[in-house]
Amino acid sequence: MDEIIRFSVSLPKGLLAELDSRVGSKEYASRSEFIRDLIREKMVNDSWEAQNSELIGVLTLIYTHHHSDLVLRMLDLQHDAQVQIVCSTHIHLNHDNCLETLVLKGEGAKIKAFSDKMGGLKGVKFYELTKTAII
C-alpha cells in the first residue's frame, strides 16, 4: 500500500457543506475517500483527453437480434476492430432483446470510433461507452 500523506485543503463553507452532504449520501467512510475518488475520476478523464496511454472502455449495447443481419454486422465490426476486445458478455433479456457488454483496450480515439460504429448499427436501441483507465 502507498504511503499516505496528509495535506490540508481550504474550501468555502458552502462547498464544504455540499462535500459533507455528498460524502454522507454516498456512504463514504470519510472526506478523504470521497476526494480520492474525485481525483481518480479527473485523472481518468484527463487520460482520455490526452490519449497518450492504453485505455480501457466498457461498451454496453441493447439491441434486437431479430433485425436483419445485425448480429453478423456486429461480428464483422468486432473482427475488424482496431482495438483489443478483452471479453464480451451476451445476455438474452427477453425474446426480442439482447444486452451485450464488450471490454475494450487500446487508444481512446479508436475505442470511441469502434463504439460509435457498433452503436450506430440499425437495430441497436441503446449504447453507452464507460471510459476508464489504469491510473
Q: How far is the C-alpha of 97 from the C-alpha of 124, rounded, in Å?
A: 10
- Between CA 53 and CA 111 the distance in angstroms is 12
Run of H or E including 128: strand 124-133
Confirm whether residue 90 is marked as ligand binding: yes
Query: Is 79 marked within a binding site?
Result: yes
Long-range contacts of 8-15 (CB under 8 A, 24+ apart): 9/35
Q: Which amino acid is at 131?
A: K
Q: Is 66 annotated as a binding residue?
A: no
Residues annotated in a binding site: 79, 90, 92, 98
Residues annotated in a binding site for Ni(2+): 79, 90, 92, 98
